[in-house]
Structures are given as C-alpha cells and as structure tokens.
Amino acid sequence: MVEEGKYIYCIIGIDTERNFGPIGIGNRGDEVVNVCYRDLSAVISNSPMTKYVISAENLTAHERVIEEVMKDYTVLPVRFCTIAASAEEVRNLLRRRYIEFQNLLKDMDNKVELGVKAFWKDMNLIFREIAEENQKIKGLKKKLASKPPELAYSDKIRLGKLVQLALEAKKESEGEEIFRVLRKSSFDSRTDPLSGDRMILNAVFLVDRGQEKEFDNRVDELATKHSERIKFNYVGPAPPYNFVNINVNP
C-alpha cells in the first residue's frame, strides 16, 4: 500500500484554518486545507507519496487549487509535485523558511501575473516590408532577376540567409517596442523564447491589481494601433507562476 503524505500547493499569509473544498490533485476528492505556523500557512491536501506524471490533467489540477486560493489571498506557488510526509513536516518547513516566505509575500502582495503574446498576421506582408527596407536584399533580388536560373543558386542561398537575418532583427525590434510599452505598467516582467516565424513577443508581467486596468488599456491601445499587422493573445490574471516558484525540500 502506498504511503499517504501531504501535497503542497502554495504558501499564504493566514493564521486560521480554512477548507477550500474537495479539489485536491489526483481525482480522489481530497479536501484542500491549510496547515498553519504563526501567521503563515501551507495549502495542502492528502496525497499518495508518489511522483505525479507531468500531464495536462495533473498540471491543471495543481494550478486550479492555486487559482482558487488566489481569489482570497496572495499566493506563493510551490513547484508541481511537492509532497511532505506529514503535516508536522509542513509546519517545520514554514518554521525554517518563515522570514523568506514573509518577505516574498510582501513582494507579491496584491500582484497578479498577466501574459501577452504577439503574432504577425500576414507573413507575405512582412516579407514585402523586409524586401523594401533592406537595401542588400533589394539589390540581390534585382541581381537574381537578371541571372539565368543555373547561375543563381549561390545567390539564392545568400538571399535566404539575408532574409532570415532581417526577419529575426525585425521580430526583435517590433517585439521590444511592444514590451517597452507594457513594462511601464508592471512591477516586474520577463520574456520567454519565441516560437515560429510569426511570434514576435512572448512575455509575462507582474502587475499590481491597482494598475491592472491601466495595463489592460495599454494592451487595447497596442491592439488597435497594430490591428492590421499584429494579433495579440492576452491572458490573466493568474498567480505569479513565473515570478515565484518555490522549490521545497520539506
């Protein structure tokens, strides 16, 4: 029989017991509750002492609990699949790292994470812009037009490399312009790697709830300004997963 432990979802700043409902990971209907030490709590549920597979179902269950708790409290997300042997072990964790968690809660107080991705809508338009803006590409295309196909192979290879370099530079320039505008309304921010030729921005922002409307307005203004060229995907508010992800060794 698999030994039972306590799955830890997040850390919050309360000193009273709370039941968040039968929403624990693993589809067993485990109650999600909190274990207190002074004015700190760890949000937990009963769970087998086993390693959960990193799957969409399990990650969603983990995040669903944190997002439910976030409705009422500032949360410090704990890394997926963190399981302590007992409630007493959880209290010892809170005791050992009390000052660290208190400082993090102050830093994250009243803040949410907002995600913004931006994509070019029409790559044919972008390639036409590159051909007009870059004199080397323009000159090489003119040269290729006057060459027999059998003599143009090396120039075509060179043209392809020039276009790819120009595309990367354009993505960086336009993405950075959007990022600078949105960063003005955030407490902290970071970018993640881009995927594919169309994506020009993949960023997350830590925003004070008091500035969330201002941030929304900035996204709306950018979407209107670039409506013909750029599509925006805007998600949140969410817990600060990209700014706090506590690694716990209970």
Pair 22, 80 in one domain? yes
pLDDT at position 246 is 86
Domain boundary pick from 92, 109, 126: 109
Whole-angstrom CA distances from 107 to 51, 75, 208, 226 are 31, 11, 10, 34
Nearest alpha carbon to residue 47 among 12, 86, 75, 76: 86
Domain range for residue 133? Answer: 112-238
Question: Of 109, 125, 140, which one is at a domain's C-terminal end?
Answer: 109
pTM for the model: 0.83
Does residue 92 share a domain with residue 23? yes
> For residue 165, what pLDDT is reported?
86
Q: Residue 95: what pLDDT?
A: 96
Question: Sign (positive/negative) of CA torsion 195, 128, 121, 217?
Answer: positive
87 and 12 both lie in a single domain: yes
Please say which residue of 87, 109, 131 terminates a domain. 109
Question: Distance (Å, rounded) from C-alpha 239 to C-alpha 67?
Answer: 7
pLDDT in tens, the chain (250 residues): 568 999 999 999 999 999 999 999 998 999 999 999 999 999 999 999 988 999 999 999 999 999 999 999 999 999 999 999 999 999 999 999 999 999 999 999 999 999 999 999 999 899 888 877 766 666 656 655 555 555 555 656 666 677 778 888 899 999 999 999 999 999 999 999 999 889 999 999 999 999 999 999 999 999 999 999 999 999 999 999 999 978 876 5
Judgement on whether residues 125 and 74 belong to the same structural domain of the protein: no
Cα gap 115→192, rounded to integer Å: 10
Task: Tell me if 186 sits within 8 A of 205, measured CB to CB.
Answer: yes
Burial class (CB in 10 A: 0-12, 13-18, 19+), 16: exposed
Residue 166 has a pLDDT of 80
94 and 8 belong to one structural domain: yes
Do 141 and 41 share a structural domain?
A: no
